[in-house]
């Protein structure tokens, strides 16, 4: 698992509760990958991941619209999060040959917009799922 931490001053540690959610997300991703392997559509991995998270007692929701605020206005045309866990962690699910850098930039923007601190970018289209899990902290 790779961790990407942007260079911000005064970064506070992630709360223990959020870290525990993160561990369950990683464990669930390993479980889904072990049972399903590679080559499926993203929405299938997303569905299976949410199922595994719920089995672990977490509130996990799929395809959640996140509005944005700009100049004091709220716009519903924000972005759609693949999975939100416990309203504290966002998970972006991919099934691609290669992760491109623009997705990581988008994820950092999403963290800023939601004021959440932890987000995972998980690519299930890899032989070693550990290399497909990117943890991003703001």
**Does the pLDDT value for residue 7 go beyond 60?**
no
Q: What is the pTM of this model?
A: 0.86
Q: How confident is the model over 110-134, as a mean pLDDT?
A: 90
Whole-angstrom distance, CA of residue 11 vs CA of residue 25 = 22
Cβ atoms of 61 and 89 closer than 8 Å: no
The strands making up 60-70's β-sheet, listed across from edge to edge, are 2-4, 133-137, 118-123, 89-94, 73-85, 60-70
pLDDT at 26: 97
At 59-94, the pLDDT tens digits run 999 999 888 878 888 887 778 899 999 999 999 999
CA angle 56, 65, 41 (to 5 degrees): 60
Q: What is the pLDDT of residues 10-48, one digit of tens each?
A: 567 889 999 999 999 999 999 999 999 999 999 999 999
């Amino acid at each position: 698992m790779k961790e990407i931490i942007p260079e911000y001053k005064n970064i506070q540690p992630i709360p223990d509760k959020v870290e525990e959610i993160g561990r369950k997300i990683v464990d669930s991703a390993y479980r889904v990958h072990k049972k399903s392997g590679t080559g499926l559509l993203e929405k299938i991995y997303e569905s299976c991941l949410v199922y595994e998270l719920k089995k672990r007692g977490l509130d996990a929701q799929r395809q959640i619209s996140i509005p944005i605020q700009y100049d004091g206005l709220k716009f519903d045309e924000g972005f759609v999060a693949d999975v939100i866990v416990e309203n504290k962690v966002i998970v972006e699910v991919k099934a691609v040959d290669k992760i491109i850098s623009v997705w990581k930039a988008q994820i950092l923007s999403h963290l800023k917009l939601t004021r959440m601190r932890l987000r995972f970018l998980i690519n299930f289209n890899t032989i070693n799922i550990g290399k497909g899990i990117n943890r991003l902290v703001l």
